[in-house]
Structure 1
Amino acid sequence: MTPTAVGPATGSPFAHPALFYRDDQEYLAGTVPFVREGLAASEPVAVAAPAARLELITAALGAAAAAVHLVDITLAGRNPGRIIPTVLRAFADAWTGVRVRIVGEPVRPGRTSPAYPACVQHEALINEAFSGREVTILCPYDARSLPEDVLADAHATHPVLITGGREWSSTTYDPDKVLARCNEPLAPPPGAAAFHYDAKALPAARDFVLAQARKRGTSEVRLQDLALVVAELTTNSVVHAGGTGTVRLWAEDEQIVCQVQDFGRLADPLAGRRPADPGQIGGRGLLLVHCLSDLVRLHTDDAGTTIRTYVSRV
């Protein structure tokens, strides 16, 4: 059985099934009929997957692949926080009055331990981001290579599960519980460079971050991205989160990590994950941070908010 318009138990038109596969044959058996059914119904179809998976699907589709929008998720989804606005919503919002189908594979073997919580948060937030919309997003999971806890998270973030052509409702579907678990404190390492700022010190905070990143070998191109990231985050602190904050910076392998902590609470879990409306004034800061960063982690509670961004040094 292939997924069509099966939605959560609430009766929402949105469908978000997880497909578990163990080899290329099972992968193609679960994805290619899904794509062909969409094309036969004149539904727009996109596939966002690693390059090797895109090659498998396009070869199996033959000439029909020309009608499918293809996205290398390892590039477009390097930061999982930008997949909803720049991949999924960007495609779905381009169509009205018709169901849209997307194959999306953000969780894959090889993700680093800092990146995985952002991946599972993304999968949980898809359900809220598309609730009530005529969209089906099929998420393949490599059951042969991914750890058991990752597969368990797939059960918790997808209302419908598919294995070997069999489809059933998840008995552990609970995306809110997953989001609460992933909202974990982000303690900086000992010795991280720190700068406390208020409204008057915003330029000094940016200069501090750039100087520290430059000393750690960051290229001028990435320094420009980092300058925009720190400007957006520190300005948000001053304008929306009590007027003061602390920015910290350190290096991890080939990345610069910049962390901003303030006293505000971020109440909207989709903040920064919605595409900006053309006429929208403001509200683009976190979206810009997600687009410029290689990874974004966030913790928020009544005591304040910490946003950690990772930017490659080159």
Structure 2
Amino acid sequence: MSSASSAQVRPVTEPFVHPALFYRGVQGYLAGTVPFIREGLKLGEPVAVAVPGRNLPLLRSELGDSAAQVRWVDMAQAGRNPGWIIPGVLRGFADAHPDGRVRIIGQPIWPGRSEDEYPACVQHEALINLAFTGRAVTILCPYDADELHPRVLADAAATHPLLIDDDGEHHSAAYAPEDIRETYDPPLAEPDGRPVLLAFDETNLGQARALAAEHARRAGLAADRVMDVELAVNEMAANSLAHGGGAGSLRVWSQDVYLVFEVQDTGFISDPLVGRHPLTLDMAGGRGVLVVNQLSDLVRMHTRPGGTTVRAHFVL
């Protein structure tokens, strides 16, 4: 697959524009991103750049004095949980500038993203198209064509309606965001070993919180992260009481670099963007999953009629 020499996005004919940029090497990265930023600044568009922190100095240096006009975000930190990128990074910036077109570079996938994180990254990329339908926003997503697996580039072609490579900008014949979202939404694999299990209902919600906090402390999490665990588990369990049949189960286990807290119930979540809508005063639902996305290092969810599983991962 060829790489982009310059990200010259064609004149806007639709409100939301979402191209993937396939680049090779540092020069390809700069050639594909810097003109995109400069064009936005020239047009008076608010510009944000959310990429892994190691790339931020490179782009700032290339832009010189113009860098002060750009909002810079370390995606490796702000977007460590892919489920938080839409509400916390992309919508957070776009919603702050409601009166005109907004331009964002968003790089949620880079060499080094783990196999645990990757399915959530693909789901995120697919859901961007739904989250920003009708919005005057352009989001350019760079992909390292040298270092990323060909499967990743193929998935990018399925989640982006436009591709930018050495052939210029063109429509993606493989674009199928709903199909790819389903591909990466199988039932979650069972953990190894025997997780700690607690069945809960309205009579012992406090016990579920206490169990989660105890395991977080035993695992060596810092005091503030123990509080985050307790709040995340409380939100997941409270959702089960309110929307999941009035009861559920909590399981806790260690997996690779994570301490995992899972809540299962008999409810079904029909909104594919649940947990990705920004918090509003009149929010009808989804606040709990939004809080879990904000607090956790990774969130995985699987929902079908008759049952929902939510897993909050915290780095050990």
TM-score if structure 1 supplies the norm length?
0.95
- Residues 182-191 or 241-250, more deviating: 182-191
1:3, 1:17 within 8 Å by CA — same for their partners in 2?
no
Distance 2:260 2:274 in 1: 21
Match of 1:240 among 236, 240, 243: 243
Tell me the secondary structure at the aligned position of residue 200 of structure 1: coil
Identify unmatched segments of 5+ residues in structure 2.
1-5
Task: State the Cα distance separating 1:222 from its structure 2 match.
Answer: 1.5
Distance 1:219 1:40 in 2: 45
Q: Deviations over 1:194-218 (max 9, x none)?
A: 1111111211111222223333333
Equivalent position of 1:183 in the other structure: 185
Q: How does 1:248-263 map to 2 (within 5 A)?
A: 248-263=251-266
Match of 1:4 among 2, 9, 24: 9
Q: Deviations over 1:247-298 (max 9, x none)?
A: 1001123421001111011111111111112454764211110010000001
- Residues 140-149 or 220-229, more deviating: 220-229
Tell me the secondary structure at the aligned position of residue 309 of structure 2: strand
Distance 1:14 1:5 in 2: 13
Equivalent position of 1:231 in the other structure: 234
In structure 2, the CA distance between the partners of 1:204 and 1:102, relative to structure 1 (3 Å rule), is same
Match of 2:213 among 207, 210, 213: 210
- Residues 265-274 or 212-221, more deviating: 212-221
Distance 1:112 1:2 in 2: 27
Identify unmatched segments of 5+ residues in structure 1.
none
Equivalent position of 2:3 in the other structure: none
Alignment RMSD, CA only? 1.6
Distance 1:109 1:272 in 2: 26
Report % sequence identity. Answer: 51
Equivalent position of 2:60 in the other structure: 58
Equivalent position of 2:117 in the other structure: 115
AA of the residue aligned to 2:226: L
Distance 2:268 2:157 in 1: 29
Paired residues, number: 310
Match of 2:43 among 41, 44, 47: 41
1:48, 1:71 within 8 Å by CA — same for their partners in 2?
yes
Equivalent position of 1:299 in the other structure: 302
Q: How does 1:83-232 map to 2 (within 5 A)?
A: 83-164=85-166, 166-186=168-188, 187-232=190-235
Distance 2:308 2:282 in 1: 28
Equivalent position of 1:15 in the other structure: 17
AA of the residue aligned to 1:192: P
Distance 1:226 1:302 in 2: 27
In structure 2, the CA distance between the partners of 1:100 and 1:165, relative to structure 1 (3 Å rule), is farther
Distance 2:10 2:302 in 1: 34
Tell me the secondary structure at the aligned position of residue 107 of structure 1: coil
Q: Deviations over 1:98-137 (max 9, x none)?
A: 1100001010011111100010111000000001111000
In structure 2, the CA distance between the partners of 1:210 and 1:159, relative to structure 1 (3 Å rule), is same
TM-score if structure 2 supplies the norm length?
0.94
Tell me the secondary structure at the aligned position of residue 121 of structure 1: helix
Task: State the Cα distance separating 1:6 from its structure 2 match.
Answer: 5.9
AA of the residue aligned to 2:130: E
